[in-house]
């Protein structure tokens, strides 16, 4: 985890068979439990005698595009089980780190979490943070909570320390800046759609969206996309080119980045299968073809779009943009689509490592 924190993982727990295969491939000596959290008894947890819990509960109950079922969604069962179990452990863990999507910060699940932590004697801090804050050109705004058993130290200037942990905090795009949340968090910022103004430019983009991309690409504290790409000689990039049908249908909706860009949008589990809203694609040529494209015939449109040599990022490149170390690898039997899927369900490793360093320091 990019951390120099002496540690031993006493148990990794997941029910996703693909994720477990990948985990076992990278950490062959770590005990891996293929079972639900609620299937583990209080006695089993006590036997582990752990000092830290790292958890990323299912995000579907809290996503902005989902049903937002919150604690009524059956997928919160494991999280609620942990909250029920925590006060009954024979020894409370010293540290807790939790990650989830934007939306969790205003949920009933978050209220229960904060109530349980307070009753158990934890101090905690909450933050919304995205990878540009650690110099990585990929938007993935997420909620994090770090907690430790109360010593009267965590709350002292912790907000400043959290911001100090992200020295590359984006200067130009307020949505990407780390935001420390207050204990009585009631975030009421407008959805992105409502904040957009101005006419639509070519490529079905509002002026606000276009300006935001220009601002992001101007932020020199964030590295360029090309720093995260695989060498062309090592991979057959033809496999990753967007097919003609996709170019014709989604050409005006794609989020396109070039190697010199300092931005890309969040990669989701649908990347490689679906196009709209699942992640950026890379333009491999220097052509500019969009002006007047909507007036062209399908044949001419396809000819123009093909000149861009648009391709998906490879799974290794997505992993690079999510802060995974070079030592990380996939077992050969895991397909490209499966790789995209688990990466889309993952988190930014470098962001987590910064928070862990802060938590245990």
Q: Which of 165, 170, 175 is nearest to 137 (CA)?
A: 170
| Residues 204-222 as b or e (16 or more Cβ within 10 Å = b) | ebbeebeebbebbbebeeb
**Is 296 a known active-site residue?**
no
Q: Assign residue 128 a region: left if phi > 0, alpha if psi is -120 to 50, beta otherwise?
A: beta
Reported for 144-147, long-range contacts at CB under 8 A and 24+ positions apart, including other chains, are: 144/97, 144/98, 144/99, 144/351, 144/352, 144/355, 145/96, 145/97, 145/98, 145/113, 146/95, 146/96, 146/97, 146/355, 146/358, 146/359, 147/95, 147/96, 147/97, 147/117, 147/122, 147/123
Task: Give the largest CA-CA distance in the chain.
Answer: 70
Can you tell me the distance from the alpha carbon of 361 to that of 180, in angstroms, rounded to the nearest whole number? 18
3-state helix, strand, coil in the chain (%, to 5): 40, 15, 50
Q: Which of 131, 213, 209, 112 is nearest to 172 (CA)?
A: 213
Cα–Cα distances (Å) from 241 to 230, 281, 296, 315, in that order, read 15, 9, 22, 14
Annotated active-site residue in 59, 120, 185, 261: 59
Task: List active site positions.
Answer: 59
């Amino acid at each position: 985890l990019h951390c120099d924190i002496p540690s031993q993982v006493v148990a990794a727990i997941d029910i996703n068979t693909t994720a477990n295969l990948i985990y076992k491939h990278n950490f062959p000596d770590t005990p891996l439990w293929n079972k639900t959290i609620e299937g583990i008894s209080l006695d089993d947890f006590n036997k582990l005698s752990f000092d830290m819990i790292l958890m990323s509960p299912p995000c579907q109950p809290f996503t902005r595009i989902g049903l937002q079922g919150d604690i009524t969604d059956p997928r919160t069962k494991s999280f609620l089980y942990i909250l029920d179990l925590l006060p009954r452990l024979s020894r409370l863990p010293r540290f807790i780190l939790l990650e989830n999507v934007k939306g969790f910060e205003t949920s009933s699940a978050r209220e229960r979490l904060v109530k349980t932590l307070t009753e158990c004697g934890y101090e905690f801090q909450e933050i919304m943070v995205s990878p540009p804050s650690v110099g990585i050109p990929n938007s993935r705004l997420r909620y994090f909570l770090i907690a430790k058993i109360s010593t009267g130290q965590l709350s002292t200037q912790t907000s400043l320390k959290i911001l100090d942990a992200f020295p590359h905090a984006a200067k130009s795009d307020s949505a990407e800046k780390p935001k420390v949340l207050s204990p009585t968090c009631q975030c009421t910022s407008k959805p992105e759609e409502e904040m957009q103004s101005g006419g639509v430019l070519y490529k079905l983009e509002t002026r606000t969206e276009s300006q935001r991309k220009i601002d992001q690409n101007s932020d020199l504290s964030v590295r360029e996309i090309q720093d995260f790409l695989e060498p062309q000689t090592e991979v057959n990039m033809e496999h990753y080119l967007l097919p003609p049908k996709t170019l014709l249908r989604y050409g005006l909706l794609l989020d396109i980045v070039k190697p010199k860009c300092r931005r890309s949008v969040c990669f989701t589990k649908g990347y490689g299968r679906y196009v709209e809203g699942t992640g950026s694609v890379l333009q491999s040529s220097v052509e500019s073809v969009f002006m007047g494209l909507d007036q062209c015939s399908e044949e001419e449109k396809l000819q123009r779009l093909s000149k861009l040599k648009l391709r998906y990022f490879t799974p290794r490149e997505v992993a690079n943009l999510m802060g995974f170390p070079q030592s990380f690898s996939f077992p050969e039997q895991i397909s490209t689509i499966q790789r995209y899927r688990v990466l889309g369900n993952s988190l930014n490793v470098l962001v987590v490592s910064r928070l862990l360093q802060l938590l245990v320091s």
